[in-house]
Amino acid sequence: MKEKILALLTAQFSGVRKDGLNHIANVLAFQVDTEEKAKEVVGKLTADQINSFITDWRKEADAEVSKANKTYEDGLRKKYDFTEKKTEPANTDPVSLEKIDAAAIQKLITESIATATKPLLEKVTAFEKEGTEKTRLQALNDKLKECNDETFKAKALKVVNCFQKLYL
């Protein structure tokens, strides 16, 4: 009979906790002996009555569980002399997370990126410098091809070479 009453309750009150409906079905199973009487009793119940009953029942059940857990814990504490753990602060860094603002975080990130990319930037600069030197030297050689004076060519290349070492 309990299963039939539970099925009726579940069909009529679909959004209600199953354990509460199961408890109501247990109570009604003692009072009802036929399926017609079960339909009649379940039909008379309202959603407010069901919700109120389940809320009160859960309060009592939860209170009993809490009381049982506390009694169990107290017994263990007496038997084994337990003490509460003292928790260490999770953040041992001298800089508190509450004190860090967006500008400080951005500065830290910028400095980290600059430090990490410095060797790469130096290599790129060296490649660019080398490319610039070769390009300028090639342009000068192209211009000096038409010149017949070898002494002038040598002096011009020497001057350009010195200039590149000084300024590039």
Residue 102 lies in a domain: no
Same domain, residue pair 10 and 76: yes
CB 150 within 8 A of CB 133: no
Domain check: are 130 and 69 in the same one?
no
Domain shared by 76 and 6, yes or no: yes
Q: Is residue 90 part of a domain?
A: no
Domain count within the chain: 2
pLDDT tens for the chain, residues 1 to 168:
888 888 888 888 888 888 888 888 888 888 888 888 888 888 888 888 888 888 998 899 899 999 999 999 888 888 887 677 777 666 555 555 566 678 888 888 999 999 999 999 888 888 887 777 778 778 878 888 888 888 888 888 788 777 766 665
Q: Which of 80, 106, 130 represents a domain boundary (last residue)?
A: 80
Q: Which residue has the tokens 């263990």?
A: 76
Residue 124 and residue 75 share a domain: no
Has residue 105 been placed in a domain?
A: no
Owning domain of residue 162: 120-167
* Spatial separation of the C-alpha atoms in residues 112 and 106, rounded to whole Å: 10
Residue 57 structure tokens: 């029942």
Using CA atoms, how far apart are residues 101 and 107, in angstroms rounded to an integer?
10
**CB atoms closer than 10 angstroms to residue 24:** 22
